[in-house]
Amino acid sequence: MIPRSIETSDPTETEALGAELAAELRAGDVVLVQGELGSGKTTLVRGAARALGVADAVTSPTFSIGHRYRAANVTVSHLDLYRLGGLEQEDPALLDDYLGPGRIAFVEWPEEEGGALPSASLRVTLTHRGGDRRRVEVGEGGEEAPG
C-alpha cells in the first residue's frame, strides 16, 4: 500500500480512486472510510465496488447498518455506522455478517463502532475543499480507537 493524498474535482474522479484502491484489496480486507457528510465516502465505495465486480447500484445503507453485494469472487460489504453511536449497546454479532473470510468490507463512520471492528487494511479520509473538490488521503489501516 502506497500512502497518498490526492485532490479530486468531481465524483467520477473519486470513484476512479476507489477503483484504484480496489485493485490492492483481497478477501478479508477492511477499509475504513472517514469524512464528513457529503465528503464522498459512499461515492468512493461505489467506485471500488464496481471495480470489484458489483453490478448492483451501490447506495447508502439507510434501514440497516450495511449492504452486502455479491461479486464474482468476493462479497463486498458496505457498512455505515453513522447512527450507531458506539456498538457497546449492540449485539457484537451485528457485524459478523459483513466481515470475515471471503468479504471485503468498507466501513463509513468507523469511529462509531466502539472497538468491535477488526484491524483494517486501509484508511481513507475525505475532506471538503470547496465546491466539488475533495482531498482524499489513503493510509495504513490499523485499529480503530475504542470510543
Binding interface with ligand ADP (CB under 6 A)? 8-11, 13-14, 35, 37-43, 60, 108, 132, 134
* Rounded CA separation 34/117 (Å): 14
Cβ proximity to Mg ion: between 13 and 108 the closer is 108
Residue 50 near Mg ion by CB under 5 A? no
- Smallest separation (angstroms) from Mg ion to the CB of 42: 3
Residue 100 interaction partner, one of ligand ADP, Mg ion, none, beta carbon < 5-8 Å per kind: none
* Rounded CA separation 50/113 (Å): 26
Residue 60 near Mg ion by CB under 5 A? yes
* Rounded CA separation 43/15 (Å): 6
Which neighbouring-strand residues pair with 136?
6, 126
Query: What Cα–Cα distance (Å) separates residue 128 from each residue in 10, 72, 98, 110, 136?
Result: 12, 34, 28, 19, 9
Cβ proximity to ligand ADP: between 74 and 136 the closer is 136
Residue 35 interaction partner, one of Mg ion, ligand ADP, none, beta carbon < 5-8 Å per kind: ligand ADP
Residues within the interface to Mg ion (CB under 5 A)? 41-42, 60, 108
